[in-house]
Each structure stands twice: as C-alpha cells, then as structure tokens.
Amino acid sequence: MNDDDLLAPETQVRHADPDTSHEAAAKLGNQTINHKRVLHLLRATATWDLQTGRPSAGGLTDLELLHEWQRIYGQVPESTPRKRRCDLVRMGRVAKKRDSGGAVIKRHLDGSNRIVWILGDLQLGEQPKGFDVTTDARL
C-alpha cells in the first residue's frame, strides 16, 4: 500500500459509518497533503548504504521538521507538522529512531533534548520507497 492509498480520505471511514463521518473524511484533503509533506521531509533525510544494503535513517526532530517545513512549504502554525507526525506514528508510517541504547535524542541549541523521528519502514530495515539502490539517490 502506498502513501496515497494509506492516506486517502475514503480509507479513514467504514462503509457502515454515518454520512457525517463520510463528509468529515472528505474534508481531510488538507491533512492528507500535510501527512505527505511530513513523509517527504523525513524521506529526504534518509540514505541507502550500498555497502551494508541497509538504510541509514537520518531523521528529524519536531523542531527540525518545523524548520524544514517552513523553508520548503511556507509558514504554518508550529503544531501542524507535529500533529501530522503524530498521526503518522499511530499509522506506523513514522517511528522513533533507535540505537542500542533506546530512542535517539538530539540536543538543540536551546538546550532541550528532542526525539529524532524516521520513516517507519526504515525502522523495520526495509529499503525506503523512492530510492534507487544503484545510485543511492535521495528524493
């Protein structure tokens, strides 16, 4: 299942749900675009290691995600990328980056510690979608 199928508004409701639920799902178009933006930004940080045949996940903190979002897509409320990232965590599409010691934490200039987020399929050790393993191309 690709990102379009997973995030399509019609997949957010069941056939037996009331009409109001279907109407609400139809209005999710903006959120679906925003989910795709989060996936794109996280995917852009990942690389494929040709020597090991495994992904190097890269990843972004919520603050880095916000900064990259605003640099590429323009200004949004601070909570927009974080909320869409949370949705994607619940869907299994985004996960905490982990090493042998647990979740990877990055210290920011303001002194705060923040969790690094990666694509969920990288957490599972699969090749990320959109990569050409022969050239180690990034999206």
**Span 14-33, pLDDT tens digits:** 778 788 877 766 665 556 78
CA diameter of the chain: 52
pLDDT tens for each residue of 26-62: 665 556 789 989 999 998 887 766 766 666 668 899 9
CA dist 102 → 63, 84, 99, 116 (Å): 20, 23, 5, 11
Residues with Cβ within 8 Å of residue 12, at least 6 apart in sequence? 25, 28
Q: How many CB atoms lie within 10 A of CB 59?
A: 22
Please report the pLDDT score of residue 13 as a whole number.
65
Residues with Cβ within 8 Å of residue 128, at least 6 apart in sequence? 43, 46, 48, 55, 119, 121, 122
Question: What is the CATH number that goes with domain 3-123?
Answer: 1.10.10.10
pTM: 0.64
pLDDT band for position 71 (50/70/90)? Answer: very high
